Amino acid sequence: MRVERGITVAHLLAEPRLEAILRLVAGGEGRDRPVDHPRVQKPGLALAGHTHGVVPTRVQILGETELTFLEGLSPEEQLQSVGVLFALGLSLVVVTRGVDPPAALLHAAQETSTPLAIAEPRSSRAIQAIHRVLDGILAPSETRHGVLMDVHGVGTLLMGPSGIGKSECALFLVERGHRFVADDQVILSLLPSEQILGRAPTLLRNHLEVRGIGIINVRDLFGANAVRSEKTVQLVVEICPWRDDESFDRLGLDESTLDILGMPIPMLRIPVRPGRNMAVILEVAARNHILKASGHHGAQNFISTLMGDMEDPGSEAGE
C-alpha cells in the first residue's frame, strides 16, 4: 500500500527526533498546515521584500543572519518586514539557536495563525535534523505487513503469513538484547541515498502484539534501549511453514532479493517448526549478512575449496 506524500505541522513536531529540539511558541491554530517539501528554506531576502521563490509549504528557518537583520530595523519596520513574509501563508517558521523570537515575529504568527517554533541547536544542526526527518517522511513510501528488528545492527524485516510467529520472534530477539522497531505495519521509505528506511506508524510505535497476552509496550517493559524509532532495511527474512515436500536453500548459494520501492533487498526464506530456536537462527542470518557485506561468503568459499579438492584429489593425501 502506497503512502501519500505530505504531512501536517503537528505530525512533524511530534516526530521523536524533533520533539526534543523544537517547541511551538505561537500560532498553534495552524498546526494542520501542510509540509510537503523535504528541504527547508531560509527566507532572508523575503524579509527585505523580495518574496519571489518562497515556497509556503517548506519549513522556513530564521537564523542568526535573519534575526540580526531584523534587529537593525525600527519596531515599525520590523512589523512591516515580518508582515510581508507571514502574509504568504507559511506552514512553519523556526527560529534557531534557542533565542526568544522578536515581538514582531510573535505578533505576526498570532495574527496569521502561523506556527512559530524555537529550535535549540544552531541553524546548521537544526536544518540537518529537520532534513533527516523529512527525508524519511516525505520519501516515496509503502506499508508492508511484517516486523522490523535491529539485529546486530542489521535492519531485519520479518515477513510471512499471519500467525506464523513473527511477533514471537521479535520478542525472543528483544530478550536477547536486540532492538524492536515495528510490528504488524511497517512504513518503508526510499531515501535519497537509495536506502530503505523502516518505521512504525505513530499510533503503533513501541507496541507489539503477542497472541495470548495481547498488546504490550516494548519500551515500558524492556527500557528505552530495547526500541528504535526507525532503521534502514538491509535484510528480509520470510518465515515459512515447514513442508517436507518443499525444498529450501541448504548451501546458502541462492542470492534471492525482494524488490522494495525499486531497490533489491537481500532475502532469505527460513522454515519454522517446533523445536527450532528462531531467535538464534535470525541472529546467525544477521551475522552472516554482515560477513557477506564485508566480502566473506562462507558458502562460496566452501564450494570453491570442494571443487579444488575434486580437481586435485591427491593433494590431501600428498600432504
The tens digit of pLDDT for each residue in 276-292 reads: 889 999 999 999 999 98
Q: Are 119 and 126 in contact (CB under 8 A)?
A: yes
Mean pLDDT, range 192-208, rounded to an integer: 92
Using only C-alpha atoms, the chain has a radius of gyration, in whole angstroms, of 26
> Which positions are annotated as active-site residues?
145, 166, 184, 250
Instruction: Evaluate if residue 4 carries a pLDDT over 70.
Output: no
Among candidate residues 196, 195, 191, 171, the one with its CA nearest the CA of residue 183: 171
What pLDDT, on a 0 to 100 scale, did the predictor assign at position 138?
Answer: 85
Mean pLDDT, range 91-102, rounded to an integer: 96
Q: Are 236 and 268 in contact (CB under 8 A)?
A: yes
Q: How confident is the model at residue 191 (pLDDT cuts 50, 70, 90)?
A: confident
Instruction: Evaluate if residue 166 carries a pLDDT over 90.
Output: yes
140-301: CATH topology: Rossmann fold (3.40.50)
| CATH 3.40.1390.20 domain extents, the chain | 2-136
Total-model pTM: 0.66
Mean pLDDT, range 202-211, rounded to an integer: 92
Q: For residue 244, give the 3-state DSSP assignment.
A: coil
What pLDDT, on a 0 to 100 scale, did the predictor assign at position 1?
Answer: 44
Instruction: Evaluate if residue 317 carries a pLDDT over 60.
Output: no
Residues of the chain with pLDDT > 90, as a percent, come to 73
What residue type is 150 in one-letter code?
D
What pLDDT, on a 0 to 100 scale, did the predictor assign at position 253?
Answer: 64
* 300 phi-psi bin (left φ>0, alpha ψ -120 to 50, beta other): alpha
What pLDDT, on a 0 to 100 scale, did the predictor assign at position 48?
Answer: 92
What pLDDT, on a 0 to 100 scale, did the predictor assign at position 49?
Answer: 92
Mean pLDDT, range 264-273, rounded to an integer: 92
What pLDDT, on a 0 to 100 scale, did the predictor assign at position 87?
Answer: 96
Q: Are 260 and 232 in contact (CB under 8 A)?
A: no
Summarised one tens digit per residue, pLDDT across range 112-148 is 999 999 999 999 999 999 998 998 788 888 999 999 9
Let me know the angle formed at the C-alpha of 66 by 62 and 71, rounded to the nearest 5 degrees: 120
Q: Tell which wins on pLDDT, 62 or 297.
A: 62
- What is the pLDDT of the chain when averaged over all its residues? 90
| CATH 3.40.50.300 domain extents, the chain | 140-301
Q: Tell which wins on pLDDT, 139 or 275.
A: 139
Place of cell 520479518: 158
The DSSP code for 98 is: T
Q: How many helices (H) and strands (E) does the chain have?
A: 12, 17
Instruction: Evaluate if residue 245 carries a pLDDT over 80.
Output: no
Q: For residue 21, give the 3-state DSSP assignment.
A: coil
Superfamily of domain 2-136: HprK N-terminal domain-like (3.40.1390.20)
Q: How confident is the model at residue 163 (pLDDT cuts 50, 70, 90)?
A: confident
Summarised one tens digit per residue, pLDDT across range 167-177 is 999 999 999 99
Q: How confident is the model at residue 3 (pLDDT cuts 50, 70, 90)?
A: very low
Q: Tell which wins on pLDDT, 310 or 164.
A: 164
